[in-house]
Amino acid sequence: MKIVRTDQELECTKLDAQLRGLGAELVLLPDGVGEDQLAVEVADADLLLMCYTPITANVINRAERLKGIVKYGVGIDAIDIDAARARAIPVVNIPEYAEETVAEGAFCLMIALAKRLLPMDREMKTSGWFWPAQSWLGADLAGKTIGVVGAGRIGQSMARMAGAGFRANVVGYDPNMTADDMQTAGIAKVDDLPTMLSACDFVSIHCVLTPQTEHLIGAAEFAAMKPTAYLINTSRGAIVDEAAMVGALETGQIAGAGLDVYANEPLDRSTHPLSRLYDEENVILLPHMTFFTQEAMDRLEAETFERCLEALEGRPVLVKSHDKRLRAQTANVQFGL
């Protein structure tokens, strides 16, 4: 039995030990592994685990023994699900492990921007002390309008923290949810995205990346935002037109941004299109780690192992996600509520 896990930089020591405990040959591949090398390794594999690495039709079609593709994470945009369906290879993700965790990370970015925590920390470490001045003036969250783009599990957690926790007004844009369901979650539904954006002091992105949501936030959307508003993105980088975002930040069209995800990862300080953001005081950059807590990783590794066992033992793989792309599968899967 052979199992391939890509993105070995994301350490999963418990999961790796459990898989080896099954007697499997576990092949770990680095982030950025080439398609050809991946296809060679997967050709005789029984199971493929991935996090960020693209799983193309070429890789899937050369995998003669593959019993399942397990995304140890949430987003499935890097997997050619149609190619997997054509081969009756089940694809599954782990959608629930970091709902609260990522929402906490997004909220952390929001409050750090509102209170100017990072610039003040840097100034303290440079100067030892400084006195109140207009340039250090922060903002309250209470009474502000916070917009969530995507009102699924993470968006709803974000809304609860902001509304019930900090007495903010929460509005949301999500064409896939009814106004009643969003209201139950404490979110006032707005059907037009630019209209919602124009009312917000903070905008937090929590929708999944699909062809319909790619560059959902572009030049027109930034133009609709207040010059005092902040953008938070802990979902997927490509949901935002990053060139338009850089322009909006440089011209003061928006006040700042807190980013954990990017269309092209990893970032670097020299050649990446977003490298100029490293020096901006009104931008917080994180390396795609708002999910990375001890509790979330424990949940992720445990549930990933459960899905692996189902696939390897020939049982229907449990799909908990309500993503239509996964729910369209008809072979070797069962669906959770």
So which residues are the catalytic ones? Answer: 236, 265, 288
Single-letter code of the amino acid located at 261: V
Return the SS3 of 167.
Answer: coil
CA 178, 182, 188 angle in degrees (round to 5)? 105
Indicate if the alpha-carbon torsion angle 222, 223, 228, 229 is positive or negative: negative
The 10 Å Cβ neighbour count of residue 11 is: 11
What does the alpha-carbon distance between residue 163 and residue 157 come to, in Å, rounded to a whole number? 10
How far is 130 from 122, CA to CA, in rounded Å? 11
Which one, of 296, 231, 289, 284, lies nearest residue 100 by Cα? 296
Instruction: Give the whole-angstrom CA distance, residue 243 versus residue 262.
Output: 11
Phi, psi for residue 256 in degrees, rounded to 5: 170, -175
Which amino acid is residue 9, in one-letter code? E
CB atoms within 10 A of CB 9: 12
What does R_g of the chain's alpha carbons equal in angstroms? 21
Amino acid (1-letter code) at residue 105? G
- Identify the three-state secondary structure at position 67: coil
Do 262 and 237 form a contact (C-beta atoms < 8 A)? yes
Neighbours of 147 (CB within 10 A): 30
Contact by Cβ (8 Å): 198, 227? no
Q: Sheet of 25-28: strands edge to edge?
A: 25-28, 2-5, 47-50, 69-71, 91-93
Exposure of 135 by Cβ count < 10 A (0-12 exposed, 13-18 middle, 19+ buried)? exposed
